[in-house]
């Protein structure tokens, strides 16, 4: 969907008015607030994803927070995911027509108004009582695709009716019979793709999570109760695809370009570049560092989606410049969910989308097709 440059860049507020967050995540002016009492401090507006992170930490149960926030071992990959974006430099182009912006993208035949998706993350009821239902509602309102985790706290049949514009199911392979039933259940409920997580033959050393005493909720609707970490091999994709029928498979957890190539040759309809949010193999490279070689290897045969470390619209722009078809965010939308349920999810996506619109205008890119490595210093790191 095209948006005007004026709407993308407006940022002025009335003097003396209070500032609130609209459902699109944009700060808006309201009528003047009553005077503050002596010693009273006005609440700070939530303008950035970092603002939502701080607010979520203050609201969430400390043990649940440690689960959401932590990574593996020394958490180096967790930090590198975000730091790598900050080290990249943009080179804007000037005097281009950016009066109208088009953020639209098509993924597996589905047209979306922007390229920001919600990554599969576990146990949303740790953040909000409505759990994944609220997440899906916020995704729909913000026009964002959603990938539902196998570790959902709400059954897929209850989440799917919220109808986010794109709805995929992330699969942890468990025992084969259970997994086949789960895939068929997800397809029957309305999932239009299955994202198979392939980077977890075992879980990494989650020391911070373990120190907190975190344990998963009991009786999750799509977890068999048996061992979930499962060493997959390429041949396993054949029976998973048979269970899915005509529903496409994506492979989540690829960091090596040769694995991306093997995945496409094995029939994958999409590649998800991910290091599991820094939660499995510590010192694995940042996903944005892995992205360009994977994009080059895939060569446009299937869409490439990247997650990990995205906190600003400029981060989204940099991923798109390297050739990603779309990006996924994880922890940030959980923060929004914790702060304000579905409206918080919508607000976080809205902030990121608006920042992307601004970054596109300021680099001279009127559409995603115009975003390429030419706006990155050095072209490719």
Residue 74 in this model has a pLDDT that exceeds 50 = yes
Strand partners, 328: 117, 307
Mean pLDDT for 211-234 is 87
Q: What does the pLDDT look like over 320-346, one tens digit per residue?
A: 999 999 999 999 999 999 999 999 999
Q: Is residue 47 part of a domain?
A: no
Q: Is residue 59 part of a domain?
A: no
Question: Looking at residue 119, what DSSP letter applies?
Answer: P
Residue in 154, 167, 160, 139 with CA at minimum distance from that of residue 348: 139
Q: Cβ atoms within 10 A of the Cβ of 74, count?
A: 13
Question: Residue 131: its pLDDT value, please?
Answer: 98
Question: Looking at residue 268, what DSSP letter applies?
Answer: -
Q: What does the pLDDT look like over 75-90, one tens digit per residue?
A: 999 999 999 999 999 9
Mean pLDDT of the chain: 91
The per-type count for the chain, helices as H runs and strands as E runs, is 13, 14
Residue 96 in this model has a pLDDT that exceeds 60 = yes
Question: Residue 226: its pLDDT value, please?
Answer: 61
Distance CA 142, CA 189 (A): 22
Q: Is residue 29 part of a domain?
A: no
Distance CA 370, CA 163 (A): 30
Q: Which two tokens stand for residue 285?
A: 């490279």
Distance CA 290, CA 253 (A): 11
Residue in 290, 375, 345, 281 with CA at minimum distance from that of residue 145: 345
Residue 270's pLDDT band (boundaries 50, 70, 90)?
very high
Question: Residue 227: its pLDDT value, please?
Answer: 60
Residue 258 in this model has a pLDDT that exceeds 80 = yes
Q: Is residue 305 part of a domain?
A: yes
Question: Residue 33: its pLDDT value, please?
Answer: 56
Q: Is residue 23 part of a domain?
A: no
Q: What is the CATH number of the domain that holds 303?
A: 3.20.20.70
Residue 143 in this model has a pLDDT that exceeds 50 = yes
Mean pLDDT for 168-173 is 98
Q: Is residue 339 part of a domain?
A: yes
Residue 17 in this model has a pLDDT that exceeds 60 = no
Residue 234's pLDDT band (boundaries 50, 70, 90)?
very high
Residue 13 in this model has a pLDDT that exceeds 60 = no
The catalytic residues are: 276
Question: Residue 97: its pLDDT value, please?
Answer: 98
Residue 43's pLDDT band (boundaries 50, 70, 90)?
confident
Three-state DSSP state, 28: strand
**Does residue 278 contact residue 78 with C-beta atoms inside 8 Å?**
yes
Mean pLDDT for 296-314 is 98
Q: Is residue 197 part of a domain?
A: yes
CB-based contacts of 223, cutoff 8 Å, min separation 6: 150, 151, 172, 174, 216
Distance CA 89, CA 359 (A): 12
Percent of the chain with pLDDT over 70: 89
**Does residue 186 contact residue 162 with C-beta atoms inside 8 Å?**
no
Percent of the chain with pLDDT over 90: 85
The shares of helix, strand and coil residues in the chain, as percent rounded to the nearest 5, are 40, 15, 45
Quote the number of domains for the chain.
1
CB-based contacts of 330, cutoff 8 Å, min separation 6: 118, 119, 120, 121, 277, 307, 308
Residue 16 in this model has a pLDDT that exceeds 90 = no
Q: Which domain does 360 fall in, by range?
A: 67-366
Mean pLDDT for 188-196 is 98
Question: Residue 20: its pLDDT value, please?
Answer: 38
Q: Is residue 293 part of a domain?
A: yes
């Amino acid at each position: 969907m095209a948006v005007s440059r004026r709407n993308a860049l407006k940022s002025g507020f009335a003097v003396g008015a209070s500032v609130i967050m609209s459902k699109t995540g944009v700060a808006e002016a309201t009528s003047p607030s009553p005077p503050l009492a002596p010693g009273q401090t006005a609440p700070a507006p939530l303008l950035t994803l970092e603002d939502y992170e701080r607010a979520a930490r203050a609201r969430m149960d400390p043990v649940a927070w440690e689960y959401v926030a932590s990574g593996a071992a020394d958490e180096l990959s967790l930090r590198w995911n975000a730091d790598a974006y900050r080290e990249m430099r943009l080179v804007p182009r000037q005097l281009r027509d950016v009066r109208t912006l088009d953020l639209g993208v098509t993924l597996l035949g589905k047209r979306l108004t922007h390229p920001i998706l919600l990554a599969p993350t576990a146990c949303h009821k740790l953040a909000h009582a409505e759990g994944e239902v609220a997440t899906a509602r916020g995704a729909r309102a913000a026009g964002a695709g959603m990938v539902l985790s196998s570790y959902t706290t709400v059954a897929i049949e209850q989440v799917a009716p919220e109808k986010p514009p794109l709805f995929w199911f992330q699969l942890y392979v468990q025992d084969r019979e259970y997994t086949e039933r789960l895939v068929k259940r997800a397809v029957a409920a309305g999932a239009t793709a299955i994202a198979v997580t392939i980077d977890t033959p075992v879980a990494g050393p989650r020391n911070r999570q373990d120190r907190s005493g975190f344990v998963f909720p009991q009786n999750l609707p799509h977890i068999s109760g048996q061992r979930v970490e499962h060493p997959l091999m390429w041949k396993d994709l054949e029976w998973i695809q048979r269970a899915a029928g005509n529903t496409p498979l994506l492979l989540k957890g690829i960091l090596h370009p040769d694995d991306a190539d093997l995945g496409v040759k094995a029939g994958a309809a999409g590649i998800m570049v991910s290091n599991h949010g820094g939660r499995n193999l510590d010192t694995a490279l940042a996903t944005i560092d892995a992205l360009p070689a994977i994009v080059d290897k895939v060569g446009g045969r299937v869409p490439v989606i990247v997650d990990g470390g995205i906190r600003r619209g400029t981060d989204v722009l940099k991923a798109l410049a390297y050739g990603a078809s779309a990006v996924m965010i994880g922890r940030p939308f959980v923060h929004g969910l914790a702060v304000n349920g579905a409206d918080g999810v919508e607000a976080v996506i809205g902030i990121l989308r608006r920042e992307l619109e601004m970054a596109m205008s300021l680099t001279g890119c009127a559409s995603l097709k115009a975003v390429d490595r030419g706006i990155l210093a050095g072209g490719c790191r």
